[in-house]
Structure 1
Amino acid sequence: MSGIAAAFLPPSTDLTVTAFDRLKQMVPKLSHRGQAEITIAAFMQKDGLRYSKAPQSSYDSLCFQHYERDPAFRPHVAIANLHSRGDRPNDFGEVESTPKKPGTSRPIAIALDGALVNGGKLRAELLAEGHMPADDTDAELLLNLIDRSFNRDGQLYGAPTDYENTFRDIDHRIDGAITLLLLDGEGNLIAYRNRPGLRPLEIMQLDDGSFLFASENCAFAGLKGELRQLLPGHIINIDGKTGSWADHSLSGGPYKARLCAYEALYLGNPDSSIEGQSHFQTRYNIGLALGHLLAQRLQKEKCSAPAIVSSMPHTGGPYADGLFAALAESGVLAERREVVATQFTQRTLIGAASQRKARIAEKYRLSQTELTERTIVIVDEALIRGDTSQAVIRMLLAAGATAVHWAIGSPPIVSPNYYGLGIETLEELVFWRVWKKLPPEQRSRTLRFHKMEPEALETIESSTAASIKAATVTYLPFPVLVSLLPCRPDGFDLSPFTLEMPTGAGQKRADRNLRQLMADLPDSEPIHA
């Protein structure tokens, strides 16, 4: 998980506002995409490229001391990367640079959102050709691919760079979910989005000719200009000396974006929007639908006090608000208050199991509230591995709650995610851990995934509830999710719920993973799509 942003001000502009000032407006609004660190590269004609970093604690008042100490450095181009703390280098993108190699190459920095699926294959190709990546990140791999293109085409430092040809070659070679911002030693800015279009890149063009780029359109709040998205399979190339720009299709397209469903359900800031509908509204509507389903279950319980509706902070709030409203419409007595607090904002989705377990134990705490003999409804946007939910349920029951119901604003997560979210295998998903314990007949019925019958979904729900020690688990049915998304289903990558991956290499990897899991269960039935 990461976020990227850039600002380009025309070189002729009177810099009362610098590119760095623009980033200070934009980056804090993207802070949910990466809570560990911000890295930045900025360019000024007489000083070239400079780099700096800032820790998570500076998001509210963004401060890069490297720049603040030198008021004479007033860059007109800058790029930034917000990244999460992960255990593997590929768990986040970052601003990375490659030094100028005299006579052949040029200094460049890139900010990367997303991940490559075929990174191992590409690294093997580079090594076979004598290239030695400095580290194992996707950003470093892409830098080497760019550098190889420069050298292969004989592009000498100081000569005009054919970025269109370079990225055309890259776009045909890579498989994954990539948006990328590149800043070179001439002040040229390149924005790139690969063909599948899984990661968004929003653009705002101001009246003074400035360009702003960001992973989400909430970053442009308070600014006025023409807003649009970079299309999949396109680059925008802005000349650092003149400010002239061009939007190039890399393969003749057009390619339709299939935006990752996690953007609307989990990753995106509630204030961001897709086709005019905010993520907050999407999540609230999902909560409403989920609440009407849960009401039928709660009405069967005899509770001496209203159920407490709470969210998983900091992403479940809109879901819980909608669910609470639905319970009220259904006549279920409930109160809305938060019973779970967090010690820090960093997400616990990414990382090795042992380190994630330690972070979960450190992160979540009870709010100062009385829970004895109370029924708790926790609303979460997704149930992925089940370790966070199980830890929170254990904490609530220990505080005296009589029952904890887990309401989930999405269908069962059945698929890994090889595109930057760090969900690498089927075995780590709670769905598959539950599925492997079912009798063979029930396993067969539930392998229809998003097409499974209601009775099969209920089997998964009851088995999952037993696994995490919840009173009940309520998933949002797949058809309901599709009806509430802000655009047609073909505009979203819904692979988390279908196992139908959005790219070829991703599908091959998922199929191998599934075959291996099935091989461990000789009595399992074949998949019925």
Structure 2
Amino acid sequence: MSDRYFELTASHDKPQCHCGVFGIYGCKDAALKTYYGLHALQHRGQEGAGIVTASLNQKGQKVFRYHKNFGLVSEVFNDQNLFENILTGACAIGHNRYSTTGSADSKKNIQPFVVNYRSGNLAVAHNGNLTNAKELRKKLVADGAIFQTTSDTEVILHLIARSKFDDQIDQIRDALRQIKGAYCLVIMTDDKLIAARDPNGFRPLVVGKKENAFIVASETCALDINSAEYIRDVEPNEILVIDDETLEQGTFKSYSIFQEENSKKHCVFEYIYFSRPDSKIFGTNVDKIRRKLGKILAEKHPVTDPDGEKVIVISVPDSSNTAAIGYQSQLAKMGIPSRLEIGLIRSHYIGRTFILPGQKAREIGVKIKFNTVKGVLENRTIVLVDDSIVRGTTSKQLVRLLREANPKAIHLRISSPPIVSPCYYGMDFPSQTELIAYKYNSNIEEIRKYLEVDTLEYMTVEEMLESMVDHSPSEFCTACFSGEYPIPVEIGISKEEYDIQ
């Protein structure tokens, strides 16, 4: 009998973020610091990881050495010899990869990418998605470019290498002026670490300092694990350069990609789901935003027990934990009897692929990942707080699992609006027809029936934006909820054609 495999990454009923990036300059054990940083950013990509370092060979020439492979960071870099004898040098960049459809089976697509061209060595790691990658790729191929991967990141490399400017910063700026979409880049040259962020600032990118070294990372949790100090964000539309002069003077060189400034369009899902709650992104702590989301969710969409007993508030661990805290605290402020409980226990020891010999995945479903605390749930009115619903398949299985604990009622509250449109700026949503809200034409009652809950309520877009404390509502991209894309995309083109990263 052949084994059957349950792919956890594929079964996630959540949006997936494409990647996490990390770079460090001015540290003798740069690769090891990068390893720790990528470990902290593991949630941003679990398919593959890579690290590139810059060091001198026996002839005194600058060489780039790298190691990358499929798997988690701890699986890819499990040989101490890598850090002691191979990945040496004071500068390094790293990348965690979440693959998209069609590119998962090629090791060539694992970043960072490394090339040698007329201006020297160049390594690039990218988080985001270019909306005009297909168009640029066709033009480059027509001009004679040979592509080794299916990644949109390689488009950026070709544009830099083919730039007619002599200065590397000018080459990079020339390339970035030709691309559209969402991107956060860390670029390593023979003598510089360069960070760049798209003009709208879709994805987060932060700068920190560890003693005399400088770090660039997708989130501040990658600074924390290295005991580094957060300095500031890489600004939208900024190219930030770190070199020996930076180490001596403690100041950055900063350049604008375009002279005119674009409006900020941060990805709101970074606060809702992607980023770790202990991170600070877009200038605000993620935990603070998620608590606010939960509080407004409770204020606008409360639940009471018909018999006046305490409502039991539980989360779908781990991403909804903070919102559930905010939800219950607001219910208490409103005088609604309630108690925050751990009603679902999540297994953290599954691995990315679970073997199911002779058993269909649908028969075991979410029980692989979750189990209920029956004593907490039995004969109770339950409020299940979750951050989002994409397909709805996992939510449906989870509700059925909760029913086995014999609760009085199950009320589902979602700390984001219904997802009705795919994302083209660095999130891997399924096709629009797979989205449960699109499938049911945003009819909440029909979705409720499908999920088999007693009540279902989402936040509205306005309520969600009200939760974005310290920010103007206009600073956020809400395309997946509204279908209004801040950068034009060709509606109707398949996700696979856009998501070539």
TM-score normalised by length of structure 1: 0.77
Whole-Å separation in 2 of the counterparts to 1:346 and 1:379: 25
Deviation at 1:362, TM superposition (A): 7.1
**Correspondent of 2:158 among 132, 141, 144:** 144
Give the C-alpha shift of residue 27 in structure 1: 3.1
Aligned length: 458
**Amino acid across the alignment from 1:337:** I
One-letter amino acid of the structure 2 residue matched with residue 110 of structure 1: V
**Does the 8 Å contact 1:94/1:111 carry over to 2?**
no
Distance 1:61 1:173 in 2: 34
The structure 1 residue matched to 2:39, chosen from 25, 28, 33, is 28
Q: Residues of 2 paired with 1:346 and 1:509: CA distance?
A: 36
SS class of match (1:509): coil
Report Cα offsets for 1:6-38 as digits up to 9, x if no partner. Answer: 1000xxxxx6x5222432443333222223332
Aligned equivalent of 1:5: 22
Matching of residue 213 in structure 1 with residue 216 in structure 2: yes
Counterparts in 2 of 1:62 and 1:316: CA distance versus 1, 3 Å: farther
Aligned AA (1:422): D
3-state secondary structure, aligned to 2:24: strand
Equivalent residue number for residue 470 of structure 1: 453
Deviation at 1:422, TM superposition (A): 1.2
User: Post-superposition shift, 1:400?
Assistant: 3.5
Q: Which residue of 2 aligns with 1:133?
A: 147
Distance 1:323 1:493, change over 3 A: same
1:99 CA displacement: 4.2
- How far the C-alpha of 1:372 sits from its partner, in A, is 4.4
Q: CA-to-partner distance for each residue in 1:39-88, whole Å, 9 max, x for gaps?
A: 11111123611112377655599755452352x86411000112235543
1:202, distance to aligned residue in structure 2 (A): 0.8
Contact kept, 8 Å, 1:343 with 1:365, in 2: the verdict is no
* Equivalent position SS for 1:6: strand
CA contact (8 A) 2:31 2:53 kept: yes
For the Cα contact (< 8 Å) 1:324–1:336, is it kept in 2? no
- The offset of 1:213, in angstroms, is 0.3
Sort the Cα spacing of 1:312 and 1:496 in 2 relative to 1 into closer, same or farther, 3 A. same
CA distance in 2, matches of 1:61, 1:308: 42
Question: Which shows bigger deviation, 361-370 or 482-491?
Answer: 361-370
Name the residue aligned to 2:422.
416
Q: Structure 2: which 5+ residue stretches go unaligned?
A: 1-16, 354-359, 495-501
Paired residues for 1:92-111 under 5 Å: 94-100=110-116, 104=118, 106-111=120-125
- Which residue in 2 is equivalent to 1:235? 239
Change (3 A) 1:129 1:66: farther
Q: Does 1:279 align with 2:286?
A: yes
1-side partners of 2:282 and 2:366: how far apart? 38
Q: Give the C-alpha shift of residue 283 in structure 1.
A: 0.8
- After superposition, the Cα gap between the structure-2 partners of 1:357 and 1:228, relative to the gap in structure 1 and judged at 3 Å, is farther
The 5 Å alignment of 1:123-202 reads 123-149=137-163, 152=164, 162-184=167-189, 186-202=190-206
Task: Give the CA RMSD over aligned residues.
Answer: 3.4
Q: Distance in 1 between matches of 2:372 and 2:398?
A: 12
Q: Shift in Å at residue 379 of structure 1?
A: 0.8
Classify 1:55/1:384 alpha carbon distance in 2 versus 1 (closer, same or farther; 3 Å). Answer: same
- How many angstroms does 1:142 deviate by? 2.2
Number of the residue aligned with 2:444? 461
CA contact (8 A) 1:67 1:73 kept: yes
Q: CA deviation at 1:254?
A: 2.9
Query: By how many angstroms is 1:124 displaced?
Result: 1.3
Q: 2:413 aligns with which of 404, 407, 412?
A: 407
Question: Percent sequence identity over matched residues?
Answer: 26
Contact map agreement 1:44 1:187 (CA 8 A) in 2:
no
- Correspondent of 1:484 among 439, 444, 467: 467
Distance 2:398 2:119 in 1: 52
Structure 2 counterpart of 1:49, which letter? F
* Other-structure match for 1:376: 382
Deviation at 1:166?
2.1
CA gap of 1:472–1:213, structure 2 versus 1, over 3 A, is: same
How is 1:319-358 mapped onto 2 (pairs within 5 angstroms)? 319-329=323-333, 330-343=335-348
Query: Which is further off, 105-114 or 51-60?
Result: 51-60
Deviations 1:137-174 (A, max 9, x none): 1222322222333xx55xxxxxxx52332233322322
Report how far residue 473 of structure 1 moved: 0.9
Residue 439 of structure 2 is matched in structure 1 by 433
Contact 1:285 1:322 in 2 (8 A): yes
CA distance in 2 between counterparts of 1:66 and 1:131 reads 36
Give the counterpart letter for 1:470 in structure 2.
V
TM-superposition CA deviations, 1:343-382 (whole Å, max 9, x none): 558899xxxxxx9989964753214534444443221111
The equivalent residue for 2:357 is none
Counterpart of 2:485 in structure 1 is 501
Equivalent position to 1:259, from 262, 266, 271: 266
Query: In structure 2, what residue type is equivalent to 1:211?
Result: F
Counterpart in the other structure of 1:439: none
Q: Which moved more, 1:211-220 or 1:81-90?
A: 81-90
Tell me how far apart the structure 2 counterparts of residues 135 and 29 of structure 1 sit (CA, whole Å). 27
| Partner Cα distance (1:345, 1:257) in 2 | 39
Q: Tell me which amino acid in the other structure corresponds to 2:66.
A: Y
| Higher RCO (Cα < 8 Å, 6 or more apart) | 2
Secondary structure, aligned partner of 2:207: strand
Given that 1:43 and 1:50 are in contact with CA atoms closer than 8 Å, whether structure 2 keeps it comes out as yes
Structure 1 residue 322: Cα displacement: 1.4
Distance 2:364 2:113 in 1: 31
CA deviation after TM superposition for structure 1 residue 115, in Å:
1.0
Letter in 1 for 2:398: V
1:232–1:256 CA contact under 8 A, matched in 2: no
- Most deviating of 372-381 and 211-220: 372-381
Give the Cα–Cα distance (whole angstroms) in 2 for the partners of residues 141 and 385 of structure 1.
32
* Contact 1:171/1:233 (8 A) holds in 2: no
TM-score (norm 2): 0.81
Q: Is the 8 A contact 1:339 1:369 kept in 2?
A: no
**Distance in 2 of aligned mates of 1:336 and 1:278:** 24
CA distance in 2, matches of 1:148, 1:359: 53
- CA drift of 1:484 comes to 1.6
Partner Cα separation in structure 1 for residue 283 and residue 253 of structure 2: 26
Task: Say if 1:7 and 1:23, in contact at 8 Å, map to a contact too.
Answer: yes
For residues 197 and 58 of structure 1, do their structure 2 counterparts lie closer, same or farther at Cα, with a shift above 3 Å needed? closer
Structure 1 gaps, min length 5:
10-14, 154-160, 349-354, 436-445, 447-459, 514-529
Q: Deviations over 1:102-161 (max 9, x none)?
A: xx4744221111111222212211221122211211222322222333xx55xxxxxxx5
Q: Which has the higher strand share?
A: 2
**Could you report, residue by residue, the CA deviation over 1:277-300 in whole angstroms, capped at 9, with x for unpaired residues?**
4211211121122223443x434x
Q: Distance in 2 between matches of 1:85 and 1:260?
A: 19
Q: 1:292 to 1:249 in 2, by over 3 A?
A: closer
Aligned to 1:365: 370
Shift in Å at residue 407 of structure 1? 0.7
Deviation at 1:307, TM superposition (A): 4.0
Match of 1:246 in 2: 253
